[in-house]
Amino acid sequence: MSVSRWTRAHGQLTFWEPENDAFWKVWGWKVALPNLIVSTYNLFFMFAIWKQWGGIVKGLNAAYKNDPTAYSFGFDNAADRKAAVGILGGVCGLSGAVHRSIHGFLPGLCGGRTANFMNSLIAFVAMLIAFIALSFPDCPYWLLFMLAVVSGCGGGGFSSIMANIGEMFPRRLQGTSLGLVGGVGNWGISCAQLLLFGFGNNGVCLAGADGKCEASNVGGKYLFQVELIWTVALFVSLPLTWFYMHDLPGQGYEPPAHAFKPRRTFWNCMRFLQAQLIIYVVAFAGAFIFMLFAPLVKKTPIVACFRGFVLAALSASATTSLLFGTNSVGVGTAGPKVSEMFQIFYTRENLFLSMLYIMTFSSFIGYANTYPKLIKALYPDVTVTDYSWMAAFLGSLARVGGGFLSDKVTGAYSTAGVAFVMTSVSFGLGFVIRAAMASGDSSGTFPGYVLLNGILFLATGCGNATVFRLIGALLDKELRGPMLGWTGAMAAYGGAIFPTFFDAGIEMGVNDLMYYLISGYYAVCAFITWRYCFWTTPVP
């Protein structure tokens, strides 16, 4: 049985039944495997370009400190410049969450291959421009601001990739496939940190005949070199995506039977661009609101929590309303398809699964952000960079392992176990932090602080994959992708809010209280898993 038998022009499959064991063993896995490999490659670099902006901000400030003419952005006041640069990371994070709100629906609207190719194309162009811009000390601030917003496509890539893979693999392999893609892809964050440290601080050049060379730099930094690496990697992803990925049956534009020239690729691209236009309208509006709040947040950090909730509510409702509205009134080309996928909003699984994924992914972002800050605040004699790598590395590793585990023992049991561990460990961590705050010499509590945080990083990473398994087991194939994308969006918004709670705790000197409160939320999630999932037959 050849692959071409079930494939028509432009990479669309005409038949796909992954739950049919005979079909899967003979042919299905042969198509699914290259899709999995290319998707993992793409997601690795999508995470990298999305999460690199915190490091870019540090590099911009360091270059300016070395040379006040480097990346000054026309500001006369150094404090104003630092405040403006400082919001770039938050703006990119918000944009990624906005992208996720819609990108989970894009495989259904325009096909998984088309959605990922177009997203990679946008990322490639953005990184190419970033490489050129950061090569000049007088690059304009407005350009970096726009690039930070556009780089949110890296966050959106998670939703479109996971939505597509979720529909491609059988129910029994949901945890393994999604955990593998998400876990290895998440290592892109560690890669961004490593490359910004290595290639952002050290120049690379070709030696001459005398064996010597001097790499050009901007303020003693080489940020543009990192952007060049992303540019090359994303350029490679374009042919890989186009030739080795597929659109599943029912995905994308379906031309009328009598159409002489279906132009399926053209209309799929138009659908993608329509959705992307909605994303940019909402993302730039949200970025503007983010900027307006910045001065108030600086004076009163707790306001950042309120800002996060406001932006999450406005952005999520605006993106979905605009997507549904434009198609319903005839502006779009996919009204029935959108209505079908929006059925996820009428299910109780939407609320429960969003809460569970917020418990895992949002907590991971919150802990990863707070962990080095508390080391600096509570243990001033410790070198923060010796331990800051733990979050992304351990969380990514546990995602892969959690996927295999959940397929073996079910998503319900494994998620319940994760919730129990997170509840007890976060509560215990609150006691360790209180002891460190009350002690004249906090060094004795440092091993316990590192150990408990390490367990939390592993638990949150494992929980990401177990929730993936739950989504795949509880929902029909048609709704599985949109739900994966939507819960990812909710967790991304939560990932922007969680760190603000912990930052407020640090500012107010009640670091331990935040851990007690968050452990209560985990206990609620554990109850939801027991009450809902354990009583479902079969256990998902």
166-191: pLDDT as tens digits: 989 998 899 999 999 999 998 998 89
CB atoms within 10 A of CB 217: 20
- Determine the Cα–Cα distance for residues 108 and 337; give it in Å rounded to an integer: 7
Confidence at residue 332, expressed as pLDDT on a 0 to 100 scale:
53
In a 3-state reduction of DSSP, which class is residue 2? coil
Whole-angstrom Cα distance, residue 275 to residue 322? 9
User: Both tokens of residue 314?
Assistant: 């406005």
7's tokens: 């494939």
277 vs 385: which has the higher pLDDT: 277
Residue 222 pLDDT: 92
- Per DSSP, 221 falls in state B
pLDDT for residue 261: 60
What is the end-to-end Cα distance of the chain in Å, rounded? 33
Q: Kindly state the DSSP code that residue 12 receives in the 8-state scheme.
A: E
CATH number of the 3-343 domain = 1.20.1250.20
| Rg, Å, the chain Cα set | 23
Question: Which pair of tokens denotes residue 341?
Answer: 């996928």
**Average pLDDT of 243-271?**
79
pLDDT digits (tens, 9 = 90+) for 319-367: 989 988 877 665 455 556 788 888 899 888 898 999 999 999 988 888 8
Predicted TM-score (pTM) of this structure: 0.91
H-run or E-run covering 13: strand 12-13
Residue 530 binned pLDDT confidence (cut-offs 50, 70, 90):
confident
- Whether residue 538 has a cis bond before it, omega within 30° of 0: yes
Question: Phi, psi at residue 185, to the nearest 5°?
Answer: -60, -35
List, for residues 285-305, the tens digit of each pLDDT value: 999 998 888 887 777 767 778
Nearest to 368 by CA among 382, 398, 388: 388
Spatial CB neighbours of 477, under 8 Å, sequence gap ≥ 6? 18, 167
Query: Which residue in the block uniquely carries the two structure tokens 């398809």?
Result: 337
- Please say if the pLDDT value at position 211 is more than 80: no
For residue 49, list its beta bridge partners.
Answer: none
Q: What six digits make up the tokens of 123?
A: 């990322």
Q: What is the pLDDT of the chain when averaged over all its residues?
A: 87
pLDDT at 300: 72
Q: Looking at the domain 348-474+510-540, which fold is it? A: Growth Hormone; Chain: A; (1.20.1250)
CA 174, 396, 18: angle at the middle one, nearest 5?
A: 15
Q: Which two tokens stand for residue 479?
A: 């709704």
Percent of the chain with pLDDT over 70: 94
Do the beta carbons of residue 85 and residue 291 sit within 8 Å? no
Q: Which residues are registered as beta bridge partners of 8? A: 12
What's the pLDDT at 1?
43
Who contacts 371 (Cβ-Cβ below 8 Å, separation ≥6)? Answer: 387, 388, 390, 391, 453
Q: At a CB cut-off of 8 Å and minimum separation 6, what does 84 contact?
A: 73, 75, 141
Q: What is the DSSP string of 386-405?
A: GTTTHHHHHHHHHHHHHHHH
Fold match, 3-343 / 348-474+510-540: yes
Paired residues of 12 in beta bridges: 8, 247
Write out pLDDT tens, residues 413-466.
899 999 999 999 999 999 999 898 888 788 889 999 999 999 999 999 999 999
216 vs 154, residue with greater confidence: 154
Question: How far apart (Å, rounded) are the C-alpha atoms in residues 490 and 308?
Answer: 12
Distance of CA 118 to the CA centre of its chain: 17
99-109 mean pLDDT: 92
Buried b (16+ CB within 10 A) or exposed e, 311-339: bbeebbebbbebbbebbeeeebbbeebbe
Question: How far apart are the C-alpha atoms of 522 and 509, rounded to whole Å?
Answer: 23
Coil/strand/helix, residue 210: coil
Residue among 347, 321, 358, 360 at smallest CA distance from 483: 347
Give CA–CA dist 277/269, Å, rounded: 12
Task: Give domain limits for the chain.
Answer: 3-343, 348-474+510-540
